[in-house]
C-alpha cells in the first residue's frame, strides 16, 4: 500500500472518506512505524518518514473505519535519562478514538524482565496488547441540542454505567451495563422522576484493568486507570463490534439530551494506567516518556507521583497539554458532552511543585472558546503536599465541596462543632468562593459520592468493611463521620430502623435546601447498600451494582419531592450570596434576606455562634431577598421559608419568631415522622422538633376559595414520605 505524506494535524487516526491520516507526536524518537493488523492478526508495518515539529505523519488511501492499528517507536532506551524507547513494544495511540481488546499482562508488555527492573525486555508485545481502531466520524445527531442548564438550576446524579443498569429488570439483559442501558427509557424515566438535570458518569475513557486486581479475581471497576483520553470504554458497548462504542455513546448522549438531561464526564487526566517505573509499556511511556510524564529530577528512572497511582501526567509540557485540550474539545464537539468533573484536579495545577491555580492548563481552559463554555468541576485535591485546594480554583470553575460533606455529616451525627461552619455550608460557602468572584453554585454540595459509604451505609456502619477488596482493611477512608445508631450493619430493631430512615431524609433534605449545586450518588435515593464497603473500586459485582429488587420507593418519592420543591422555589438556588441586609419593607419593618434564630425564637447573637449551642438552630429565608432577575429581566421573588434543625438526641421546642413581619406558616416537611399540620401556625406558636430531624415551613398560602389546600404532606414514622408538595400560590402584586 502506498503511503502519502499526510498532515501533522489532527493527531491520531482521522478518516476523511478517501483514506486515513495518521499522526503521532514524539520528540525523542529516531523512527516511527505505523502497524496495521488484519482480521487474522497479521501485521503490516509502514514507516512514517515525514516528520514536522516532532509529529510523524502519513496518509494511507483506502484505509477506513474498523482498521486496527498501533505504533512502534524506535529510539534510545536509557531509563536513567528518562528515555524508554523500545520498538518491540506495540504502543496504543494516545489519540485513539476507539480501542479493541484488553491487555493480558504477559511479560512481553513490560520493558524489563520480572525480578530485574534495570534489565531490558525485547519480547514482542503485539499479541498481548489492545489496539486503536479507525472510526467512522459521521453520526446523525438529528436536532440534538445541549440543554445548557444553568448551574443554579442543576441537580447532578453521579452514576456508574454498569452499576446503575446491570440489574435493572426492565432493561433487556443483552444491553445491561452499557451505554445503551443508560439511554433506555427505564433509566431516563427514573432520572426525570427524580428531577435530575445532569448525569455525571464515572470514567468512560478507555481504561485498563490492573494485573494485580485480575490476579485476585477483581477488576478496576471504577475505571480511574485511563489509557486513551479520546476513546469511550469498549466494555460498555452492547455489541462488541469494532468501534461500535463510539456510535453507541453518541446515541446515549442524544437520548439523554432529548430528555433534557446533560452528560458530564468524570475524567482522569492526572495520571495514566502505565503506573510507575515497574509498570507496562502500553502507550505514552514508549512514545515519549519525558514529554508525557513528570520524572524525578535527580533520577529520571522514577516518576513523580501526586496521585497515589504511580505517575503524574506532565501538565507543564506543551504536547501533554495539547493532548488534554484536544481530548476535551473532542468530547464537546464530536461527542456532545456538557461538562467534565476533573479527578484529583490539583495535580493539573502543579506546573512545578506547588499547586498553582494559574498553571498553564487553567490558562488554556480559560482562553479556549469551546472548553470554557461547558461545566468544569474540580475535585480540588490530590495526595501531594499542599494538595487540598478546596476554594482555590479559578473563577469559572466549580468544586466538589469536601468541607460541605464533612460539616453536614458531623452536624447530623451530633458532633460538637461551630454553628458558623454549618451555617456557611448551608448558605453556599461564601467563605470559600465569594472573594474569588464566584457565586454560590461554585459549591458542588454532596454528602456521599462513589468514594466512601453510600447514604444508607453512612447511617448503618461505624467502621468500613472492605474485606472483599483483599487488602486486609488497609484501603478506604477510616474516618467516615458515620454512625450506626447502636448496631453495626443490618438490624430488625424498629427504633434503629426508624432513626436510620429519618437520618437519610435529613441528609437529602439538607442537600436540597442548601445553596449551591446538589449532587446525589446513584442509588442513595432508593436505599442502596454496599454492606459497609466504603471503597468499592475493585468490586464489579453485586456489592456495587444497584439491586433494583430491593428499592425503597418511599425514599424515592421523598427525594423527588424535595428536588421538585427546590426547582419550584428559587429561594433555595440563589445566584448570589446572602448579605444579611434588609431588602424590602413589610408591615413597617425592613426584612433581612436571612435571619438565624435560636429555639426560643430570638435572633442569634454573635456570642451564640461559639457558645457550644450547636445542635439546634433555625433559619428564616426571605423570599423577597433574591436580588436577581429571571431570563426575561423580571425581578425574582418567592415565598418566605423557615427551616428548623435539631441534630440533638432530645426533642426541642422551637418558638416561632413573634415580630411584626412574621407570617403564618405551613409545615411542608417534618422528617421527625409526625403528620404535618393541617392548620397554619403563627408567631409565638411552639413546634416540637423531634430528635435528629428537621422541619421546613413555608409562609401560609391561601387559595381562591379561602381554604388552605396548599399542604397535603403525610409523614409516617418509618418513612417520612411527602405525598405531595404543591406548587406555590401566585405572589400578590406589590401594593395589594
Kindly tell me the sign of the dihedral angle through the C-alpha atoms of 575, 577, 578, 583. negative
Which helix H or strand E contains 563, and what residues bound it? helix 553-568
Question: Which residues in 323-441 belong to E strands, given as ranges?
Answer: 339-342, 375-378, 398-400
Supply the DSSP string of 151-208, one letter for each residue.
GGG--EEEE-HHHHHTT-TTS-GGGTTSHHHHTSHHHHHHHHHHT--EEEES--EEE-
Q: Which value, in Å, is the radius of gyration of the alpha carbons in the chain? A: 28
Q: How far apart are CA 316 and CA 559, in angstroms?
A: 44
Which one of 248, 288, 305, 379 is the catalytic residue? 379
486-to-410, 458, 613 alpha-carbon distances in Å? 17, 13, 25
CB atoms near residue 27 (< 10 Å): 14
Q: How far apart are CA 57 and CA 21, in angstroms?
A: 7
> Which of helix, strand or coil describes residue 145?
coil
Q: How far apart are CA 166 and CA 342, in angstroms?
A: 26
How are beta strands 594-597 and 616-621 bridged, if at all? Answer: antiparallel
Contact 269, 229 (CB under 8 A): yes
CA proximity to 334, closest of 242, 231, 468, 431: 231
Q: How many residues does the chain have?
A: 736
Beta-bridge partner residues of 595? 620
Q: Is 33 one of the annotated active-site residues of the chain?
A: no
Backbone φ, ψ for residue 671 (5° rounding): -70, -5
Contact 488, 463 (CB under 8 A): yes
Q: Packing angle between helix 185-194 and helix 553-568, nearest 10 degrees?
A: 60
Q: Is 27 one of the annotated active-site residues of the chain?
A: no
Kindly tell me the sign of the dihedral angle through the C-alpha atoms of 290, 296, 298, 301. negative
Give the single-character DSSP code of 340: E
- In a 10 Å sphere around its CB, with 0-12 CB exposed, 13-18 middle and 19+ buried, how is residue 649 labelled? exposed
Q: How far apart are CA 145 and CA 56, in angstroms?
A: 37
21-to-12, 13, 134, 271, 283 alpha-carbon distances in Å? 8, 6, 10, 28, 19
Cell of 272: 495514566
Phi-psi region of 464 (alpha: psi -120 to 50; beta: other; left: phi over 0): beta
> Which of helix, strand or coil describes residue 348?
helix
Q: How far apart are CA 346 and CA 533, in angstroms?
A: 27
Residue partners of 580: CB distance under 8 A and separation at least 6: 592, 593, 594
CA proximity to 658, closest of 635, 681, 692: 681
Which one of 248, 262, 266, 343 is the catalytic residue? 343
Q: How far apart are CA 330 and CA 14, in angstroms?
A: 13
Which helix H or strand E contains 668, and what residues bound it? strand 665-670
Q: How far apart are CA 687 and CA 681, in angstroms?
A: 9
591 alpha-carbon distance from chain centroid: 38
Cell of 414: 451530633
Q: Please measure the distance between the N-terminal and C-terminal CA atoms of the chain and give it in whole angstroms.
A: 83
Contact 532, 545 (CB under 8 A): no
Cell of 519: 449532587
Q: Which residue has the cell 503524574?
A: 312
Q: Which residues are catalytic?
A: 343, 379
Amino acid at each position: 500500500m502506498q503511503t502519502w505524506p499526510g498532515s501533522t494535524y489532527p493527531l491520531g487516526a482521522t478518516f476523511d472518506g478517501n483514506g486515513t491520516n495518521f499522526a503521532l507526536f514524539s520528540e525523542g524518537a529516531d523512527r516511527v512505524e505505523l502497524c496495521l493488523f488484519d482480521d487474522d492478526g497479521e501485521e503490516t508495518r509502514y514507516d512514517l518518514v515525514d516528520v514536522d515539529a516532532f509529529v510523524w505523519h502519513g496518509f494511507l488511501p483506502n484505509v477506513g473505519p474498523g482498521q486496527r492499528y498501533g505504533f512502534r517507536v524506535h529510539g534510545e532506551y536509557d531509563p536513567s535519562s528518562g528515555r524508554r524507547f523500545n520498538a518491540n513494544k506495540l504502543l496504543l495511540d494516545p489519540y485513539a478514538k476507539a480501542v479493541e481488546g484488553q491487555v493480558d499482562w504477559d511479560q512481553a508488555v513490560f520493558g524489563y524482565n520480572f525480578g530485574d527492573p534495570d534489565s531490558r525486555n525485547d519480547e514482542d508485545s503485539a499479541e498481548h496488547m489492545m489496539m486503536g481502531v479507525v472510526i467512522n466520524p459521521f453520526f446523525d445527531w438529528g436536532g440534538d441540542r445541549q440543554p445548557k442548564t444553568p448551574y443554579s438550576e442543576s441537580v447532578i446524579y453521579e452514576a456508574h454505567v454498569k452499576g446503575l443498569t446491570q440489574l435493572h429488570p426492565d432493561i433487556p439483559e443483552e444491553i445491561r451495563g452499557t451505554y445503551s442501558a443508560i439511554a433506555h427509557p427505564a433509566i431516563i424515566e427514573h432520572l426525570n422522576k427524580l428531577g435530575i438535570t445532569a448525569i455525571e458518569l464515572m470514567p468512560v475513557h478507555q481504561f485498563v484493568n490492573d494485573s494485580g486486581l485480575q490476579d485476585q479475581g477483581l477488576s478496576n471497576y471504577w475505571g480511574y486507570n485511563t489509557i486513551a483520553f479520546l476513546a469511550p470504554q469498549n466494555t460498555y458497548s452492547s455489541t462488541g463490534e469494532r468501534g461500535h462504542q463510539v456510535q453507541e455513546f453518541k446515541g446515549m448522549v442524544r437520548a439523554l439530551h432529548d430528555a433534557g438531561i446533560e452528560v458530564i464526564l468524570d475524567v482522569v487526566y492526572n495520571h495514566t494506567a502505565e503506573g510507575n517505573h515497574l509498570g507496562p509499556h502500553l502507550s505514552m511511556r514508549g512514545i515519549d516518556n519525558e514529554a508525557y510524564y513528570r520524572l524525578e529530577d535527580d533520577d529520571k528512572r522514577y516518576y513523580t507521583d501526586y496521585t497515589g497511582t504511580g505517575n503524574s501526567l506532565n501538565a507543564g509540557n506543551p504536547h501533554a497539554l495539547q493532548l488534554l485540550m484536544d481530548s476535551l474539545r473532542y468530547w464537546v464537539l464530536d461527542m456532545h458532552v456538557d461538562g467534565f468533573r476533573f479527578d484529583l484536579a490539583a495535580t493539573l495545577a502543579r506546573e512545578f511543585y506547588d499547586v498553582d491555580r494559574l498553571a498553564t492548563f487553567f490558562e488554556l481552559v480559560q482562553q479556549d472558546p469551546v472548553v470554557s463554555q461547558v461545566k468544569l468541576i474540580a475535585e480540588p485535591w490530590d495526595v501531594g503536599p499542599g494538595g487540598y485546594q478546596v476554594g482555590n480554583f479559578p473563577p469559572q470553575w466549580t468544586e466538589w465541596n469536601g468541607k460541605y460533606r464533612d460539616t453536614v455529616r458531623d452536624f447530623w451525627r451530633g458532633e460538637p462543632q461551630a454553628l458558623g461552619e454549618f451555617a456557611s455550608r448551608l448558605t453556599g460557602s461564601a467563605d470559600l468562593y465569594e472573594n474569588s468572584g464566584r457565586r454560590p453554585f461554585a459549591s458542588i454540595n454532596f454528602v456521599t459520592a462513589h468514594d466512601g459509604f453510600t447514604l444508607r451505609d453512612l447511617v448503618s456502619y461505624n467502621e468500613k468493611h472492605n474485606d472483599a477488596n483483599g487488602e486486609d482493611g488497609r484501603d478506604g477512608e477510616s474516618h467516615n463521620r458515620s454512625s450506626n445508631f447502636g448496631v453495626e450493619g443490618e438490624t430488625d430493631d424498629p427504633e434503629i430502623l426508624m432513626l436510620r430512615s429519618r437520618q437519610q431524609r435529613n441528609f437529602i433534605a439538607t442537600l436540597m435546601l442548601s445553596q449551591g449545586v446538589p449532587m446525589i450518588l446513584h442509588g442513595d435515593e432508593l436505599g442502596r447498600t454496599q454492606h459497609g464497603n466504603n471503597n468499592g473500586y475493585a468490586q464489579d459485582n453485586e456489592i456495587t451494582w444497584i439491586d433494583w429488587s430491593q428499592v425503597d420507593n418511599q425514599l424515592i418519592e421523598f427525594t423527588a419531592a424535595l428536588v421538585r420543591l427546590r426547582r419550584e422555589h428559587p429561594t433555595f438556588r440563589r445566584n448570589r450570596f446572602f448579605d444579611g441586609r434588609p431588602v424590602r419593607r413589610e408591615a413597617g419593618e425592613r426584612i433581612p434576606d436571612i435571619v438565624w434564630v435560636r429555639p426560643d425564637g430570638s435572633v442569634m447573637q454573635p456570642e451564640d455562634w461559639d457558645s457550644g449551642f450547636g445542635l439546634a438552630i433555625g433559619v428564616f429565608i426571605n423570599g423577597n431577598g433574591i436580588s436577581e432577575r429571571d431570563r426575561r429581566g423580571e425581578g425574582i421573588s418567592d415565598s418566605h421559608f423557615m427551616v428548623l434543625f435539631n441534630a440533638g438526641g432530645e426533642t426541642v421546642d422551637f418558638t416561632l419568631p413573634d415580630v411584626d413581619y412574621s407570617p403564618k406558616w405551613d409545615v411542608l416537611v417534618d422528617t421527625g415522622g409526625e403528620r404535618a399540620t393541617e392548620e397554619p401556625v403563627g408567631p409565638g406558636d411552639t413546634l416540637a422538633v423531634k430528635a435528629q430531624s428537621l422541619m421546613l415551613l413555608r409562609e401560609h398560602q391561601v387559595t381562591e376559595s379561602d381554604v388552605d389546600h396548599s399542604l397535603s404532606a403525610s409523614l409516617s414514622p418509618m418513612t417520612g414520605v411527602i405525598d405531595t408538595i404543591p406548587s406555590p400560590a401566585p405572589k400578590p402584586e406589590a401594593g395589594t
